[in-house]
Amino acid sequence: MQHKRNKLVTAAGYARLRNLNRSTVSRQVKSGLIPIHDGGLIDPAEADRARERNLDPAKVAAADVRKHNPSPTESRTPLAEVKPTGDPDAAVDDDVAAGTAPEDYWAVRTRHEKAKADRAELDLAAQQGKLLDAEVITSHWAALGTLVRDVVMSIPSRVVNRLPDEWRRQVSLIVTEETRRALSAISHELSQPAK
């Protein structure tokens, strides 16, 4: 397939055209996701098709949102003022370094970094033994609840055995009923959400 020389662009040029990070484009070229031609040049239309076929649709959609919905306050540095870095594979995004990335980018980036920090804190707390598995706690409390119920419900029969025969039946019914009420009240209180 013949390509006109003027249709081909460098990796940095393609990144600027598509509002992508230069290092992202370079990484995709190295991994073979974006095809290159003589001299390491890229056909933008061919690269777009290759990226659509090979990349995660959610990431492509997010890139399209950034590309097609720039922030109204966004101001791009004129091309004449951009100083070349000399390294086309540099890991610095020109827009991010210049502070001219769309506001949506910064909001997403901030949320992402906060989520990573929160996750790291949780991982550290778990490693230090400060976090407990909810399922283990639930099963432990359920076993303790059953134990308490069984011990408390055995009290009426132990008490009744100490009474004279004529009182046993009547006292047994009263103590059993009151014990059930107490356990029911405790169970109800424990089932309420914490205040």
pLDDT tens digits, 70-82: 554 444 444 444 4
Same domain, 114 and 166: no
Same domain, 62 and 98: yes
**Tens of pLDDT, residues 101-145:** 566 888 888 899 999 999 988 888 888 888 877 888 888 888 888
Same domain, 82 and 177: no
Q: Classify 129 in phi/psi space as left (phi over 0), alpha (psi -120 to 50) or beta.
A: left
Domain boundary among 74, 91, 125: 125
> Strand, helix or coil at 100?
coil
Same domain, 16 and 108: yes
Structure tokens belonging to residue 94: 């020109």
Query: What range defines the domain where residue 54 resides?
Result: 5-125
Structure tokens belonging to residue 20: 């992508």
Same domain, 29 and 102: yes
Banded pLDDT at 176 (limits 50, 70, 90):
confident
* Domains: count for the chain: 2
Half-sphere exposure of 181 (CA within 13 A, CB side): 6
Higher pLDDT, 91 or 43: 43
Domain boundary among 69, 95, 125: 125
Same domain, 112 and 180: no
Question: What's the predicted TM-score (pTM) here?
Answer: 0.33
Do 88 and 26 meet the contact criterion of CB atoms below 8 Å apart? Answer: yes
